[in-house]
Chains A and B, each alone.
Chain A
Amino acid sequence: MSDQTIPNYQHVADGGDAAVEHGASDRTYVMVALFLAVMTAFEVATSYTKKALGPFEDLVLLTLMAIKFVCVALYFMHLKYDQALCKRVFFFGVVVASLVYCGMLATFHYWAPHFR
């Protein structure tokens, strides 16, 4: 008992097994990168449609952006393979930032300028 100076944290670790596997194969990464490149191409193409999509253009662009964001976070930043805590901490920051700044812009009637 007296020589137990090293804490054994195993019994408080949540979901320890999940993290043993370390990321995907290089092939997966290349595929993800190709997918991201294609998405970017779509985005640029959408922005050149000269408003053919009308008000949906922004929506399409924002959706593509969100897909790219999540892809990089999940695959390149290993969030898919790491423990859930990392994901929670990071997306908590993303969500707080989005809500707070969207709220701020809302007080300026940014989202509905004709109510100004």
Chain B
Amino acid sequence: MAIVEAPRPLVIPEPVLPASGPMGVFKRPTKTTGWRSWATTIDHKKIGKMYGFMSIVFFIIGGCEALLIRTQLATPNGTLLSAQVYNEMFTMHGTTMIFLVVMPLGVAFMNYFVPLQIGARDVAFPRLNAFGFWTFLAGGIILNSSWILGGAPDNGWYNYAPNSLVTFAPTHGIDFWTVGLLTTGIASLVTAINMITTIINMRAPGMTWFKVPVFTWMSLVGQFMLLFAIPVLTAAQFMLLFDRRFGANYFEVSQGADPLLWQHLFWIFGHPEVYIMIMPAFGLTSDIIPVFSRKPLFGYKVMVISGIAIGFLGWGVWAHHMFTSGMGPVSNAAFAVGSMTIAIPTGVKIFNWMGTMWRGQIRFTTAMLFAVGMFTMFMLGGVSGITHAISPADTQQHDTYYVVAHFHYVLFGGAALVFFGAFYYWWPKIFGHMLNENLGKWNFWLMMAGFNLTFGPQHILGLQGMPRRVYTYLPGYGWELWNMVSTIGSYILAFSVLIFIINVVYSRRKAHAAGQYTCDPDPWDGRTLEWITTSPPPEFDFWEIPDVRDLDEAWHRKYAEDENGRVVRVAKIEDVMDKPTGVIPHMPSPSYWPLVAAFGMLFIGYGIIFSLALCAVGGFLLFVSLVAWGIEPSTEPGVHPVEPLTPDSGESGVAHEIHEVGANV
């Protein structure tokens, strides 16, 4: 990890494979296809795809859990799930959706598009990036394996202590939760360090701070929040782990402990966490709406500054989750005021999105529909959020379905909707073919209908007094109708996700049957740098690092003002895009060690839960792989796995560029 070597000058006479790899254990992987290329890749685009794929897998798992919950609650006295299983189900649903779906999906887009948007060839620490992904996967595996290894966690995603101590939660479920999230936390931390360094340090020449695309900006803000939020959760989880496994007294009330300590630490993490999840979504919306309104983003600087303001204010509001915990009137008032102020920069964003669309030439493609859907639904969630900030009103709403409705409107309506939009927007760039627009519109409208049917009625249920986290209810409270509506909505929602998956498979088959593996580099008339490279981009992203002169560089290359001051198209994308130079940039070589290190983390994780002997195995694996990682050079001399993408650039006499990408970590 910290075993760093500065990039060193490489002398590359000719591409020859080395006889043996570093350490003499493994040959340095060189394959560019097959499973091995995925297991050893340090290419930010492949890692981004893997993040995206795993997020979808976990999304399906978490979605099935949600359907089980809704089916149980469809009618009074539901019998599908027992109380215990129901508790496990909502805990795993929340934990999965937050830590294994929304966060990594944001990271997937960041991984793929931040380097492209800032005109870089990879992230700052390519191997650390791979380590982050595999560690995230290890954490997800640990968490989800709890279903078959003795019971899932059953205490809610916030996992309040002392209710999570051994006395009240005797199974290993809570341990799986703690260890699984500690592991994904390590992944988040290294990814945050990596992304922040990348954005600060690898912007293309000329890309000053106010020429950085909004998605990249919001990723930076979100990753900074993550950087400071994750260690707080880590500390709290260590305390819980020590209490449960080694008999510490952090949350042992009989020993004088205060149960509010956990709540504070958890929400100091937990509130920034909601902004960590929504920040990339804000950025995506700000990138998609200008493209399909054919106007620059209204108030770009205000947009960036309001994002930063949310990043700061997000640190002073955590205790609004604890208004009913008896902190006292002064604390409640202070945090209520803090929570209300955060509505100001958020409101600014919503007005700016509307301002961008105002008098624009709007094209309602699927991506645009999702982006518009995002900010309308997010606004509804924001309005119910304001009602939570009023602490006396919150006393009524606390722990009711009203809260469930609120956070699904901001998290599904806000983050998840625009992530689907981003799939439609960026799919041609990633895979070289478009997603079907007709199916996409079905996807969107069914999702909107299903989403609002599911979570709209929960506002009413909450205000009628239906508590959260009850596994069933008696008839006669007036909850039957809206619960049934909500359940029907959830199935429509699930069906819309199915349409998305069908669309993915259908579009891919169709494109490949037609022999189409690449497509128009700029199908939407885009504005940012990812559109000036090929679709999909070459492994090294850009033949030439672009020289940036404007915000919305790609657009400014294509359009200019004529003598009458009207904006006219002056160039085709083919003329202004990145072109093969014949000089293949030298990229860092793939490596086994990030994967091996993550295996070490997996063993350590299970070891903490079951037997410390496994920890020793894991620790050994981790140590060996980190040392080997530190010793092997970032770029293996002589290995040159990059295949020239254009036939005319691969001829003899090609000079091998000595530019290394990224630091040696």
Contact = CB atoms under 8 A, between A and B. Distances in A.
A96 B228 contact: yes
B252 interface: no
B205 A8 contact: yes
B547 to A, nearest CB: 8
Interface stretch (A41-49, A71-79, A98-106): A98-106
Interface string A84-114: 0100000001001101100110111100000
Contacts of A2: 544, 581
A100 B585 contact: no
Chain B interface residue count: which class?
20 to 34
A20 B329 CA distance: 54
B659 interface: yes
Given A12-B205, A96-B315, A5 B268 contact: no
Contacts of A7: 119, 204-205, 545
B435 interface: no
B157 interface: no
A25 interface: no
A85 B328 CA distance: 40
A5 B543 contact: yes
Among B200, B208, B227, B264, the most chain A Cβ lie within 10 Å of the Cβ of B264
A93 B316 CA distance: 15
Interface string B573-594: 0000000010101000000000
B657 to A, nearest CB: 5
Given A96-B315, A100-B315, A5 B583 contact: yes
B463 interface: no
Given A11-B206, A93-B228, A96-B228, A5 B544 contact: yes
Contacts of A109: 328
A12 B581 contact: no
Contacts of B205: 7-9, 11-12
A11 B208 CA distance: 9
Nearest to B579: A2
A9 B201 CA distance: 10
A6 B659 contact: yes
Contacts of A103: 316
Contacts of A3: 581, 583
25 contacts: A4-B544, A4-B545, A5-B543, A5-B545, A5-B581, A5-B585, A5-B659, A6-B545, A7-B119, A7-B204, A7-B205, A8-B205, A9-B205, A12-B206, A12-B207, A93-B227, A97-B228, A100-B232, A100-B268, A100-B315, A103-B316, A104-B265, A104-B268, A107-B260, A107-B328
Interface of A: 2-9, 11-12, 85, 93, 96-97, 99-100, 103-104, 106-109
Given A5-B544, A8-B205, 16 more contacts: A2-B581, A4-B545, A5-B585, A7-B204, A9-B205, A11-B205, A12-B206, A85-B200, A93-B228, A100-B232, A100-B315, A103-B316, A104-B264, A107-B319, A107-B328, A107-B331
